C-alpha cells in the first residue's frame, strides 16, 4: 500500500502535513511530529509586520531617550548584538533543517508588496524545501476594486517566484469573486500549489470592557467541506497542486479531501487538541480503510471525486444547492 504523495515536487511519504502553528515552531516539537509520521512540516509563519516593524520597534525602544540628557546618554548596554525576529526565524529554520529528515516548508505571511518579500530568498538560502506564501488580506479601502485585490496577490507571487527556485505554495482565503480565475492567475505567475484555505479570525466584542477581543477557535471536521468543495472544482483544470487546510481531524477527512483532489492535507487544530500521536492514528486508519476498500495507493484516489469527473459539472453545482435547501424545507418540523 502506497501512502506517498507528490506535493509541489516534494516526494512525501504520506499526505499528512502539520501546518504552521505553535507546534511547528521549534526543533524539539517538529522532531516529535516527524517521529509520529508527519511527512513534511510547514514552519510557523514569519509575518510581514515582524519584518517591517519589529526591528525598527526594538531599535526604537533601545534608542528612545538617548542623546537627550547629559547624564543618561543611553539606557541599554552595548554589549550584545541582538538577533531580530526574522533573523531568528532563519537561524531556527537552519537548525530544524539539520535536525530532521522530512521536508520543511517555511511560511511567509504578508499582504503588501514590499521589502519583506526579500525574506523569501533568505528562507531559500537557509535551506527550506518549499515556501508557503500566506497572503492574508482584508480589504478596507473603498477605492480598491476586486481587480486591485487580485493584482496584489499576483504581484507578490510573481516577485517571489522570480526570486526563488524552491516550490512556492500560496495560501489564500476562499472569498474571491471567481476563485477559479484567481487560481488560474496564480498559476500564470508561477505558483506551484494552492493551500485552501486561510482562516480569518474575526474578532469578537467584549461587552464588559467595550473593546474587541481576539480569539482562536479550533476547527471541526465539518469545516473540511469548504476546501473539499473548492478543491474538487479546481482539480484538473489548473496544473496546481492542492493542500487542504482547515478541519482535518480524521482519516475519513483525509480520504474525502484526497478524493476531491488534494495532494496533501494540513493538520493543526486536531494536533493541538489530541497531540502529535494523532498523525499515527490517522495513518493507521487510512491504511485500514484503504485495505478494507481495496485501494492500492493515495495517488489512485486523488481527485477521483473532483468536478471534472462529474458528467455535467455546472448543473451539478446548482442542483446540489437546490436539493440541499429543498430537503431542509421538507424535514423542517416547525
Contacts with other proteins, residue ranges (CB under 8 A): 51-52, 55-56, 58-59, 61-88, 114-116, 118-119, 210-211
For the CA atoms of 134, 139, 163, 234, the dihedral, rounded to the nearest 10 degrees, stands at 60
DSSP 127: T
Q: Return the number of other C-beta atoms located less than 10 Å from residue 268's C-beta.
A: 22
* 116/86 Cα distance (integer angstroms): 10
Residue with Cβ nearer other proteins (209 or 312)? 209
And the C-alpha cell for 66?
A: 538617548
State the nearest-atom distance from the C-beta of 193 to other proteins, in Å: 26
**Nearer residue to other proteins within complex by CB, 116 or 295:** 116
231 to each of 174, 204, 210, 241, 307, how far by Cα in Å? 11, 30, 40, 10, 9
Residue number with CB closer to other proteins (53 or 174) = 53
Residue closer to other proteins, measured from CB, 29 or 249: 29
Q: For residues 85 and 116, is the Cβ–Cβ distance under 8 A?
A: no
Give min distance, CB of 55 to other proteins, in A.
4
Nearer to other proteins, 58 or 218 (CB): 58
DSSP label of 273: H
Beta strands in 93-210 (DSSP E): 104-110, 130-135, 168-172, 193-196, 204-206
CB of 183 to other proteins, least distance (A): 30
Minimum CB distance to other proteins, residue 87 (Å): 7
Report in angstroms how near the CB of residue 71 gets to other proteins at its nearest. 4
What are the backbone angles phi and psi of residue 36, rounded to the nearest 5°? -90, 5
Q: Environment class of residue 251 by beta-carbon count within 10 Å: exposed (0-12), middle (13-18) or buried (19+)?
A: buried
The nearest distance, CB 51 to other proteins, in angstroms, is: 5
CA dist., res. 191 & res. 227, Å (int): 18
| CB nearer other proteins, residue 71 or residue 292 | 71
- Report the nearest approach of other proteins to the CB of residue 144 (Å): 20
Between 48 and 223, name the residue whose CB sits nearer to other proteins: 48
In the complex with other proteins, the residue whose CB is nearer, 11 or 125, is 125
What whole-number distance in Å separates Cα of residue 123 and Cα of residue 186?
21
Handedness of CA 60, 66, 72, 78 (dihedral sign): positive
Ramachandran area for residue 76 (φ above 0: left; ψ -120 to 50: alpha; else beta): beta
If the CB atoms of residues 110 and 303 are measured against other proteins, the closer one turns out to be 110
Closest distance to other proteins from the beta carbon of 211 (Å)? 8
Three-class secondary structure of residue 55 per DSSP: helix
- Smallest gap from Cβ 48 to other proteins, in A, equals 9
Amino acid at each position: 500500500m502506497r501512502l506517498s504523495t507528490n506535493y509541489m515536487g516534494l516526494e512525501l511519504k504520506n499526505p499528512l502535513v502539520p501546518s504552521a502553528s505553535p507546534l511547528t515552531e521549534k526543533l524539539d516539537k517538529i522532531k516529535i511530529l516527524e517521529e509520529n509520521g508527519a511527512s513534511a512540516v510547514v514552519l510557523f509563519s514569519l509575518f510581514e509586520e515582524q519584518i517591517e516593524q519589529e526591528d525598527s520597534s526594538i531599535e526604537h525602544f533601545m534608542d528612545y531617550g538617548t542623546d537627550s540628557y547629559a547624564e543618561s546618554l543611553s539606557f541599554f548596554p552595548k554589549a550584545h548584538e541582538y538577533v531580530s525576529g526574522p533573523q531568528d526565524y532563519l537561524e531556527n529554520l537552519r537548525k530544524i533543517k539539520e535536525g530532521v529528515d522530512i521536508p520543511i516548508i517555511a511560511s511567509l505571511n504578508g499582504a503588501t508588496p514590499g521589502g519583506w518579500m526579500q525574506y523569501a530568498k533568505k528562507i531559500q538560502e537557509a535551506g527550506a524545501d518549499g515556501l508557503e506564501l500566506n497572503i492574508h488580506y482584508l480589504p478596507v479601502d473603498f477605492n480598491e476594486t476586486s481587480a486591485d485585490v487580485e493584482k496584489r496577490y499576483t504581484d507578490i507571487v510573481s516577485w517571489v517566484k522570480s526570486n526563488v527556485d524552491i516550490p512556492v505554495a500560496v495560501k489564500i482565503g476562499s472569498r474571491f469573486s471567481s476563485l477559479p480565475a484567481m487560481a488560474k492567475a496564480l498559476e500564470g505567475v508561477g505558483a506551484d500549489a494552492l493551500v485552501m484555505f486561510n482562516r480569518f479570525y474575526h474578532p469578537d466584542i467584549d461587552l464588559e470592557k467595550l473593546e474587541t477581543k481576539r480569539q482562536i477557535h479550533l476547527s471541526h471536521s465539518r469545516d473540511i467541506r469548504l476546501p473539499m468543495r473548492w478543491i474538487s472544482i479546481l482539480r484538473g483544470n489548473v496544473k496546481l497542486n492542492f493542500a487542504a487546510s482547515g478541519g482535518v481531524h480524521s482519516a475519513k477527512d483525509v480520504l474525502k479531501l484526497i478524493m476531491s483532489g488534494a495532494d496533501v492535507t494540513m493538520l493543526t487544530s486536531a494536533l493541538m487538541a489530541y497531540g502529535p500521536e494523532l498523525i499515527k492514528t490517522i495513518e493507521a486508519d487510512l491504511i485500514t480503510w484503504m485495505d478494507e476498500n481495496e485501494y492500492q495507493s493515495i495517488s489512485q484516489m486523488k481527485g477521483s471525486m473532483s468536478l471534472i469527473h462529474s458528467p455535467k459539472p455546472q448543473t451539478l453545482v446548482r442542483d446540489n444547492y437546490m436539493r440541499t435547501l429543498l430537503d431542509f424545507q421538507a424535514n423542517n418540523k416547525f
